[in-house]
A and B are shown apart, each in its own frame.
Chain A
Amino acid sequence: MTPKSFQQIDKFARDLPKEVRATVYDGSKSTSEKRYDSIWRDYPETADVLRETAGKVKQHTLEHLDQYLEQAEKSLTAAGAKVHFASTGDRANEIALKLMQERGVKKMVKSKSMVTEETHLVPYLEKAGIECVETDLGEFIVQIDHDHPSHIVKPIMHKNRRQIAKSFEREGLGDYNDDPETITRRARVHLRKKYFEADCGVTGANFVSAESGRMVLITNEGNARFCMAATKLHIAIIGIEKLVPRDQDLSLFLNLIGRSGTGQQLTVYQQFINGPKTPGQPDGPEEMHVIFVDNKRTEVLASECKEILRCIRCGACLNVCPIYRQASGHAYRSVYPGPVGAVLSPLLAGDKFPELADLPKASSLCGACNEVCPVNIPIPDLLLCLRDKGKREGAKNASAGTPPMGMYAMMASQPSAWKAAMRLGYAVNITPQAMMNVVPAAQAWTSVRQLPKWRGGKFRDWMGEHDKDAK
């Protein structure tokens, strides 16, 4: 019997096509295993020290964010970049569009950036008549399918090669061929033309060193490099939480992010950029603009869940999460899925928090996410904090299916009532299943599992006798 669903994420998981679940499950499990092997192979003694230290560096940075953001602004300006600030996602889009329009940009190539997913940059620019091309292979496939990424590192975790081959065929990128190498080569040829035609490259950044202003761009494919080699204008759109204090701190983060995300010692390409191309260099941007975006990050900073801003978007918590593995990323109805998303998305929703207040419920609180987090974010604690917030704010979708706790608390703080209930509980042993099903929680329990025999008070009786014998 398929249990009734109360929660949207549970429902989504229940209705997920088997094939998609298998793809997501296998992909996240194998990536998780690679992470485990690489980090414990290379740091058999100090893996956790490394995570904890990195977490403290990020926490320190966040708690001195005004200071570091100002320093980054100065360093970038001194190196020849132009710095902009955007308090909202809309403002970030406006600034980017204005920069492009002033320079007559018609085509833009873009490397993967989660913050631009938040701000919906691409549809915004397209509406203004600018052609936008996602160049990360996964993001490119998402774009041609008019889909959404389901994973922050592997955007098409939910798709298999056959679906991709069909999309390529539909887009005129050759006859149906589902060989991953052929798919990749065809994308290479197609996107190569796009780079050379484009006037502008848009990127995010994984880190920004306040000390030097160097932003770090990390990719495996080299698409961000191509954006920075073929175009004349570079616009980097960066969340204000991406800062780290010093260049040397990057030695911690670079060693962690590759291993945590994909099990690589280092991701293939790390670009450290703090200005336009050097004089004499024939290729690359003559102008570099950095847009630092708030988009509710300062609200998160003021909340009890500020630790979530440490996140370096490696995806390790998604891969290890048993709920993500069953539900896939789209179940989370937001840009950031998985455990990090269950915390971050409702917070970034601002006034619309109640709409996503069910996300923090999608966890068995197993703690695996905290165990793998390269910056040691106490995700289960933050999920609990947001559950309390959801309850206080009366978010309906959050409480769906959760048994009310008022009666429980009353009984559990009155021993006589509690003990009486222990005796009365024997009724369960003789209650027909049909009657049990009147209570939703009981139905949800018994649709999946049997209850053992009720033995309420038996231990108390034994203990009483036992104490008498001892005396």
Chain B
Amino acid sequence: MSDDRSEIFSRIKGALEPLPERTPLPDYARDLPLCTVHPDFPNAWELFAHKSKQVNGTPLKGLAELAKWLIADGQTHGYCDPALVDKVRALPEFNGITLETEFDRTRFDDFTFGITKAAGVIAETGTLILKDQSTSSRLGALAPWVHAAIVDEADVYPDVRTAIENFGDDPSIIWATGPSKTADVEGILIEGVHGPGIQIVCLDA
């Protein structure tokens, strides 16, 4: 109700009014939160791969590598972004793998992997960026045990701050740093709670 609104604002104003002065917004250096404690790497993707592995992420280079990984893991049936499917199917390595381009939620258990587009990655933290506008299906990127996000080399951001500056106007941005996990039971780390148990980021090189 609008009454609640005006009540809250007037209480806030009443609470702040007696303050003799107010704390200014601190002017802090752009790189203050930047974490630089890591080995040197020749490029941002290599740093990403290093950080991603630290959190049990699976960085891969090239779609052929992805196909090999899926086959080695016994993955044969999954979801694929319709915009990517032709390119993927064109690769001989994907022979024997069934790809559906619609995630049918009534058969959610049929999809053991999902392939969607990444909006970018963050090298500093080993993080995958998904944006609603470029993710073909939220469920396809979330429900299967294995999620593979395909990222372009141009979308490798160096750090958290740069990734934030490139939010754009997307209404739903997701950062995923490694696979889904929990430590709720006695602090023991278990991966794959509600989200993917395996999080692949594949550089489309």
Are A and B co-members of a single complex?
A: yes
Chain A positions near chain B (C-beta within 8 angstroms): 23, 26-27, 30-31, 41-44, 46, 49-50, 53, 56-57, 59-60, 63-66, 69-70, 79-80, 84-87, 91, 135-138, 141, 154-156, 160-161, 164, 180-181, 183-185, 187-188, 191-192, 195-196, 212, 214, 220-223, 225-226, 228-230, 240, 245, 247-248, 250-252, 254-256, 262, 264-278, 280-284, 292, 294, 298-299, 301-302, 306
Cross-chain contact A269 with B4 (CB below 8 angstroms): no
Q: List the A side residues contacting B74 at CB < 8 Å.
A: none
Cross-chain contact A30 with B187 (CB below 8 angstroms): yes
| A-B contacts at CB below 8 angstroms, number | 260
* Chain A proximity mask over B183-205: 1 for CB below 8 Å, otherwise 0: 11111101011111000000000
Q: List the B side residues contacting A265 at CB < 8 Å.
A: 35, 51, 55, 125-126, 177
Interface assignment of B153: CB less than 8 Å from any CB of chain A: no
Cross-chain contact A283 with B103 (CB below 8 angstroms): yes
Q: List the A side residues contacting B133 at CB < 8 Å.
A: 278, 280-281
- A–B complex contacts, Cβ < 8 Å, 26 sampled: A49-B32, A64-B16, A87-B4, A87-B8, A154-B184, A180-B185, A185-B192, A220-B193, A225-B138, A225-B194, A226-B194, A229-B142, A230-B105, A247-B165, A247-B167, A248-B165, A256-B33, A265-B35, A266-B177, A268-B55, A272-B173, A281-B138, A294-B4, A294-B11, A298-B14, A302-B14
Nearest CB of chain B from residue A329's CB, rounded to whole Å: 14
Cross-chain contact B174 with A271 (CB below 8 angstroms): yes
Cross-chain contact B35 with A43 (CB below 8 angstroms): yes
* Chain A proximity mask over B1-39: 1 for CB below 8 Å, otherwise 0: 101110111011111100100111110100011010100
In the assembled complex, the Cα of A30 lies from the Cα of B185 at a distance in Å of 14
Cross-chain contact A66 with B103 (CB below 8 angstroms): no
Cross-chain contact B182 with A221 (CB below 8 angstroms): yes
Cross-chain contact B142 with A298 (CB below 8 angstroms): no
Q: List the A side residues contacting B15 at CB < 8 Å.
A: 298-299, 301-302, 306
Q: List the B side residues contacting A251 at CB < 8 Å.
A: 33, 160-161, 164
Point out which of B8, B15, B125, B182 has the most chain A C-beta atoms below 10 A from its C-beta: B182
A65-B16, A184-B185, A281-B138 given; A79·B171 CB < 8 A: yes
Partner of B171, one of A154, A164, A278: A278
In the assembled complex, the Cα of A360 lies from the Cα of B176 at a distance in Å of 38
Q: List the B side residues contacting A195 at CB < 8 Å.
A: 194
Cross-chain contact B33 with A141 (CB below 8 angstroms): no
Chain B positions near chain A (C-beta within 8 angstroms): 1, 3-5, 7-9, 11-16, 19, 22-26, 28, 32-33, 35, 37, 51, 55, 102-103, 105, 108, 125-127, 132-133, 135-139, 142-143, 160-161, 164-165, 167, 170-188, 190, 192-196
Cross-chain contact A31 with B187 (CB below 8 angstroms): yes
A91-B4, A225-B195 given; A262·B164 CB < 8 A: no
In the assembled complex, the Cα of A30 lies from the Cα of B189 at a distance in Å of 13
In the assembled complex, the Cα of A267 lies from the Cα of B185 at a distance in Å of 17
Partner of A247, one of B132, B136, B164, B180: B164
* Pairs of residues from A and B, 8 with the lowest C-beta to C-beta distance, nearest first: A222-B195, A302-B15, A298-B11, A275-B171, A229-B138, A221-B193, A283-B138, A138-B184
Nearest CB of chain A from residue B128's CB, rounded to whole Å: 10
In the assembled complex, the Cα of A137 lies from the Cα of B142 at a distance in Å of 17
**Residue in chain A with minimal CB distance to B133:** A278
In the assembled complex, the Cα of A221 lies from the Cα of B190 at a distance in Å of 10
Nearest CB of chain A from residue B13's CB, rounded to whole Å: 5
Partner of A184, one of B13, B167, B176, B190: B190
Q: List the B side residues contacting A41 at CB < 8 Å.
A: 37
Point out which of A57, A138, A251 has the most chain B C-beta atoms below 10 A from its C-beta: A251
Partner of A57, one of B8, B26, B181, B183: B26
Cross-chain contact A281 with B132 (CB below 8 angstroms): yes
Cross-chain contact A196 with B190 (CB below 8 angstroms): no
Cross-chain contact A240 with B8 (CB below 8 angstroms): yes
Q: List the B side residues contacting A181 at CB < 8 Å.
A: 190
Q: List the B side residues contacting A138 at CB < 8 Å.
A: 182, 184
**Residue in chain A with minimal CB distance to B188:** A180
Point out which of A41, A87, A225 has the most chain B C-beta atoms below 10 A from its C-beta: A225
In the assembled complex, the Cα of A255 lies from the Cα of B135 at a distance in Å of 25
Nearest CB of chain B from residue A374's CB, rounded to whole Å: 11
Q: List the B side residues contacting A264 at CB < 8 Å.
A: 55, 177
Extra pairs beyond A195-B194, A255-B35 (12, CB < 8 Å):
A60-B25, A160-B186, A180-B185, A183-B185, A221-B182, A225-B142, A229-B138, A281-B135, A282-B138, A282-B139, A283-B137, A284-B138
Cross-chain contact A272 with B172 (CB below 8 angstroms): yes
Cross-chain contact A220 with B8 (CB below 8 angstroms): no
In the assembled complex, the Cα of A50 lies from the Cα of B3 at a distance in Å of 39
A183-B185, A248-B165, A262-B183 given; A53·B193 CB < 8 A: no
Cross-chain contact B16 with A270 (CB below 8 angstroms): no
In the assembled complex, the Cα of A50 lies from the Cα of B127 at a distance in Å of 21
Q: List the A side residues contacting B26 at CB < 8 Å.
A: 53, 56-57, 60
Cross-chain contact B177 with A267 (CB below 8 angstroms): yes
Cross-chain contact A274 with B28 (CB below 8 angstroms): no
Nearest CB of chain A from residue B109's CB, rounded to whole Å: 8
Partner of B172, one of A44, A262, A277: A277
A27-B187, A222-B193, A225-B195 given; A50·B138 CB < 8 A: no
Point out which of B11, B133, B184, B190 has the most chain A C-beta atoms below 10 A from its C-beta: B184
Nearest CB of chain A from residue B79's CB, rounded to whole Å: 11
Q: List the B side residues contacting A43 at CB < 8 Å.
A: 35, 37
Nearest CB of chain A from residue B111's CB, rounded to whole Å: 12
Q: List the A side residues contacting B1 at CB < 8 Å.
A: 85, 91
Cross-chain contact A42 with B171 (CB below 8 angstroms): no
Cross-chain contact A155 with B184 (CB below 8 angstroms): yes
Q: List the A side residues contacting B5 at CB < 8 Å.
A: 85
Cross-chain contact A23 with B186 (CB below 8 angstroms): yes
Q: List the A side residues contacting B195 at CB < 8 Å.
A: 221-222, 225-226, 268-269
A161-B185, A277-B172 given; A180·B139 CB < 8 A: no
Cross-chain contact A223 with B8 (CB below 8 angstroms): no
Nearest CB of chain A from residue B52's CB, rounded to whole Å: 11
